[in-house]
Amino acid sequence: MKKMLLAALTLIVGLTVLAGYFFRAELSPVLTLIIDWGILLLGVAGLIGLGYLVRMHLARLFRREKGGFYSLIALLGFVFSLAFGLVYSPHHPFFRDLILNVQVPVEASLLAILAVSLLYASLRLIRTRGWTLLSVGFLFGAVLSLILNLAFFREEGNPLLAEMIAFLRGIPMAGGRGILLGMALGGLIVGLRVLFSINRPYGEG
C-alpha cells in the first residue's frame, strides 16, 4: 500500500511538473508551489546531509582515528563559518574576504594539482590504452585543439585558413552536442522509468 501511494505520488507530481513546461501559463501557480516545495525539501535534505559530515568528523575525533587532527580543524572551520554566516550573513565584508582569501586560493591550488595530473595522464595515454585508433585520435584531437586555441595561427587576410580553423574548432562542439543528445536521451528514459514507477530507486525494484 505504501509503495503504491509513493508510486502514485511520484507519477502525479512528475507529470504535473512535466506538463508545466509545456502549459506554463495554465499550470504556473501549481508549478511554482511544487518547485518551491522541491527546493525546500532539497534544502532540508542538504542540511541533514551536512549532519552526516559533522557526525563523520566527530566519530573520527572521538575514536582517535588517524587523521583526527584534520577532522578537528574541519569541525572548527565548519562551526565558525556556520555561526558567522548565521549572525552576520554571508554578505558581510569579513565573510567575503574569508572566502576570497582562504577558500578560493585553496580551491585554485587543487585545480593546479588537477592540471598537473591531467598532463601526466595525457602523457601516459598510449601506455594505458595502447596504439588504438581511439587513443591516437583522442591525443591528436587534444593537441590540435590546444594549438588552435593558443591563437598561434593568424587567419586575418586568409579566408581559406579562417574557414578551415572555424571548421576544426567546430568539430569538438559537434562531438559534445552528440554526447549531450545521447545523455539527454538516456536521462529521459531514466526519468520516465522513475515517473512510471518502473524503477524505484527510493524503494524496491
In the complex, the residues that contact other proteins under the rule CB under 8 A are 18, 21-22, 42, 45-50, 52-53, 56, 66-67, 70, 74, 106-107, 110, 113-114, 117-118, 121-122, 124-125, 128-129, 138, 142, 176, 179-194, 196, 198-199, 201-204
Closer CB to other proteins, residue 29 or residue 201? 201
Closer CB to other proteins, residue 23 or residue 153? 23
**Least distance between other proteins and beta carbon 158 (Å):** 25
Closer CB to other proteins, residue 26 or residue 161? 26
Residue type, position 151, single letter:
A
CA 17 – CA 32 distance, rounded (Å): 9
**Least distance between other proteins and beta carbon 165 (Å):** 21
**Least distance between other proteins and beta carbon 150 (Å):** 18
**Least distance between other proteins and beta carbon 125 (Å):** 4
Q: Which residues contact 19 (CB under 8 A, 6 or more apart)?
A: 27
Closer CB to other proteins, residue 110 or residue 166? 110
Closer CB to other proteins, residue 12 or residue 181? 181
Q: For helices 2-22 and 159-195, what crossing angle results, to 10°?
A: 140
Closer CB to other proteins, residue 30 or residue 115? 115
**Least distance between other proteins and beta carbon 151 (Å):** 21
**Least distance between other proteins and beta carbon 97 (Å):** 19
